[in-house]
Amino acid sequence: MRWSSSILCLLSGLLVSAQDAPQVFTQASNDSLLWGAYRPNVYFGLRSRLPTSLTTALMWSRAEHYETMANTFRYTCEQHSGIKGYGWDVYDPRTGGVQTIRDQENGIDLETSFVKFDEGRGGWGARIKGTVRDDAQPGSGSQNGVKEQLKTMLLFTVGVEGERSVSKVVDTEAANDNGFKGDVTIEGQGESMGPFRITITEPESNSHPVHNHPSYQAKPLDRTYVHSMMMPQEALWQGKALAFRSMKATIDQYGEEYTENTMPPPWQTYTISHEPGAGNVHLIQKSYDGDFQFDVFFTPSTQGIQPTSKDLTKAIQKVTEDFNAKYAAVLAPQAPFTGKQYLPFSKALFSNLIGGIGYFHGEHLVDRSYAPEYEEENEAFHFATAEARARNQQKVEGPYTLYTSVPSRPFFPRGFLWDEGFHLLPILDFDPEVAMQIVSSWFEGLMDEDGWIPREVILGQEAASKVPAEFQVQYPHYANPPTLFMVLEALLDKAKYGSGENALDQGLLKAWLERLYPLLQRNYEWYRETQYGDLKGYDRGEIRSRKEGYRWRGRTPQHILTSGLDDYPRAQPPHPGELHTDLLSWIGMMTRALRRVASFLGQSDDAEKYGKTLEAIKRNVDDLHWDQGNRTYCDVTVDDFEESIHVCHKGYISLFPFLTGLMGPEHKHLGAMLDLIADENELWSPFGIRSLSKSDELYGTEENYWRSPVWMNINYLVLENLLRIAEISGPHAPRATRMYTALRQNLVSTVYRGWEKTGFAWEQYNPESGEGQRTQHFTGWTSLVVKMMAMPETPVVGRAGGRHDEL
């Protein structure tokens, strides 16, 4: 009996891999996350979290100008395309959301809604609703009454991924060339999905373009045109190219019959060829005069009942109401941000962050040559590294899968490791399990045997299409700040202190962490083994640990992209003896998080071990990096006389021991940190904390990316740590309280003003003017402003909660 059960244990131990380990999340929880707007790269793209899925997208353009159509045709999210803001006003990954797109150039506002029926098991519905804008300019087809006559053409695409998937249009009323008069229905069966049905339907109230051109009879535009085609898998995501290809056939046909002057109007010329049938891509085209609306339903065939447009109307209302109620319970802005303008702002930023979650699947490029030059051992290492990289030794790896949020839908629609830790902080307030699934995806889906996780994750051709070739290759010895460990700490806090809507079940967290724990440890060891610093020069007795000092690999004279603070000034020239303040601090944070996880799981030996390392790190932060003359923390390098010296550029780097929570309220250098932050000639600006001191000689120079602008991720860490110091009694609590209150006000006003003025959140903010700059529609860590608003107006000394007990 004992013998056979231990054999069983052994067998199951062998068979169970991390991927199919016992389910931590319930089936219902997974079902409700199956479908989503998981293609953040396009304005409205739905798919499932299955590697081969049904995928959809929307394209549209005003159709009254031959010349500009190619430019005003929308598909992938782009910057500066005449759109005055777009994004989710409401989005819950489990139920659905509502997005508004203010397309000024096309004269139309679109509302795209997406809702799941029966928590996802009953399929989903999507509604596309167009309203002519008040500022729409008359076009060639609408001299009078632009409101009624503005012509919009739209294409909804349905792709069915997988070599063995099948789908076809059910040809009910379209036996001839003249399009569908009524609903369009597609039936199919996906490789990894059961049989399904798609129905596209619209109310009678829509109005369609008419024209008395002689060719009109051949193309009645009150019809829906459908072009089904069979395409190679890698072409399925290329909706715009497929649509243009199909329209070209029509244009060529007219080209023969008519001259430039006698051509049919553009809204008729730009029609796809009507070829409904079997295929793996179906383009569905509709044309409208003025306002319009149509619905799309996806229904698993196991589902007897097909929801109606009325059901959809109700469901959209319910999704919105439920979202609002939940939002108010978990992320409601606190005073002084209780004015009615702040709530929609907060919801929109949050909805775009959480609505930017994507599902990515495919291959990527990794250079695993382990070329000797990558050792970075001698003083000219960066020349050798550059040469080795230029030899292009990358290979395709994968396919991998990543479930993640993205920094920016138009510009960076892919995963970034250290951004993600920041994204998940607000997300875990709303739905901790979603955050946990994302963390799992990074560790279980991407990490290699050595414990490496790529910094930037570009899976598949759709993701790669937005990255220049030279930026695509990932290197297995390059790191990025381990911010996912901040998420672990936040989850532990939530399980300990959360209640009501803010609760997280301890049992669930435990089961999940048990499964993740070996992977977390592997990742941690990878950082320590690959990014170690050379402490030989410190063998002078006063350094109690000779291990805890670290150096980012992968630097060039101008950049340490791996640190995330790309062009922040560092030692010149680069030297293999450098020690980086930020990296030691990050590893301190990581060690603390692991120690907390270990004690939570009852692994007391591990907890003790991590506790000792943490102490050594805290000591070395001060022993190695504190510069008494400058009263700040500094990087270290080795000079011409082989002496270790400090390299001091005051700014975010100097604050890292504070930002990562390594300094308690009594810390001897805390006062100096607060001085630096509060000084207007150094870091304090009316718009937030500057990345580099105004007094640094390199302030605002060269690319000026991390050399003066205000970044919200780091500002969030400043704010959070000020709050912590303010709430634990200590010598600096009163001052930290004042700084917290002022900084919170400054940061929220800055992001709010930019959003009000431009309709967008921005990648960073100008420290002189407060203007948003660089990437537009940067809905990643700038969305942390929703957490800033939800933080208390006044710190309460002695308040329990958060990581206070860790200081």
Q: Point out the residues that are catalytic.
A: 566, 763
Q: In terms of C-beta density within 10 A (0-12 exposed, 13-18 middle, 19 or more buried), how is residue 397 classed? A: middle
Q: For residues 370 and 471, which CB has a smaller minimum distance to ligand 6A9 in the complex?
A: 471
Residue 731: count other Cβ atoms within 10 Å of its Cβ. Answer: 12
Decide if residue 656 touches ligand 6A9 (CB under 6 A).
no
| 186 contacts: CB under 8 Å, gap ≥ 6 | 158, 167, 168, 169, 170, 197, 198, 199, 282
Distance CA 402, CA 460 (A): 11
Q: For residues 61 and 775, which CB has a smaller minimum distance to ligand 6A9 in the complex?
A: 775
Q: For residues 170 and 467, which CB has a smaller minimum distance to ligand 6A9 in the complex?
A: 467
Q: For residues 350 and 418, which CB has a smaller minimum distance to ligand 6A9 in the complex?
A: 418
The encoded tokens of residue 522 equal: 């592997």
Decide if residue 470 touches ligand 6A9 (CB under 6 A).
no
Q: For residues 323 and 360, which CB has a smaller minimum distance to ligand 6A9 in the complex?
A: 360
Q: How far is the CB of 462 from ligand 6A9 (least distance, A)?
A: 15
Q: How far is the CB of 479 from ligand 6A9 (least distance, A)?
A: 12
CA 531 to each of CA 363, 376, 525: distance values in angstroms, whole numbers, following the listed order = 26, 11, 10
The single residue among 301, 471, 505, 794 that binds ligand 6A9, judged by CB under 6 A, is: 471
Decide if residue 566 touches ligand 6A9 (CB under 6 A).
yes
Asked if residue 128 lies in contact with residue 51, where contact means CB atoms within 8 angstroms, the answer is no
| 415 contacts: CB under 8 Å, gap ≥ 6 | 360, 402, 404, 406, 442, 456, 457, 459
**Largest Cα span, the chain:** 94
Size of the site for ligand 6A9 (CB under 6 A): 11
- Please report where in the chains the tokens 């050798």 appear, as a residue: 384
Distance CA 327, CA 315 (A): 18
Phi, psi (deg, nearest 5) at residue 702: 50, -130
Decide if residue 416 touches ligand 6A9 (CB under 6 A).
yes
Considering only the stretches 68-76, 330-338, 466-474, 523-531, report the one whose residues sit in contact with ligand 6A9 under the rule CB under 6 A: 466-474
The encoded tokens of residue 561 equal: 């992209």
Decide if residue 407 touches ligand 6A9 (CB under 6 A).
yes
3-state secondary structure of 321: helix
Considering only the stretches 14-22, 87-95, 413-421, 616-624, report the one whose residues sit in contact with ligand 6A9 under the rule CB under 6 A: 413-421
Considering only the stretches 99-107, 218-226, 414-422, 442-450, report the one whose residues sit in contact with ligand 6A9 under the rule CB under 6 A: 414-422
* Per-residue contact flags (x/-) with ligand 6A9 for residues 296 to 325, judged by CB under 6 A: ------------------------------
Q: For residues 131 and 558, which CB has a smaller minimum distance to ligand 6A9 in the complex?
A: 558
3-state secondary structure of 400: strand
The single residue among 373, 419, 420, 582 that binds ligand 6A9, judged by CB under 6 A, is: 419
Decide if residue 582 touches ligand 6A9 (CB under 6 A).
no
Strand partners, 114: 97, 126
Considering only the stretches 241-249, 309-317, 411-419, 681-689, report the one whose residues sit in contact with ligand 6A9 under the rule CB under 6 A: 411-419
Decide if residue 80 touches ligand 6A9 (CB under 6 A).
no
| 726 contacts: CB under 8 Å, gap ≥ 6 | 733, 736, 737, 740, 795, 797
Distance CA 339, CA 756 (A): 14
Asked if residue 159 lies in contact with residue 54, where contact means CB atoms within 8 angstroms, the answer is yes
Decide if residue 467 touches ligand 6A9 (CB under 6 A).
yes
Considering only the stretches 258-266, 412-420, 587-595, 716-724, report the one whose residues sit in contact with ligand 6A9 under the rule CB under 6 A: 412-420
Decide if residue 78 touches ligand 6A9 (CB under 6 A).
no
Asked if residue 20 lies in contact with residue 339, where contact means CB atoms within 8 angstroms, the answer is no
Decide if residue 568 touches ligand 6A9 (CB under 6 A).
no
Interface positions with ligand 6A9 (CB under 6 A): 407, 412, 416, 418-419, 467-468, 471, 564, 566, 780
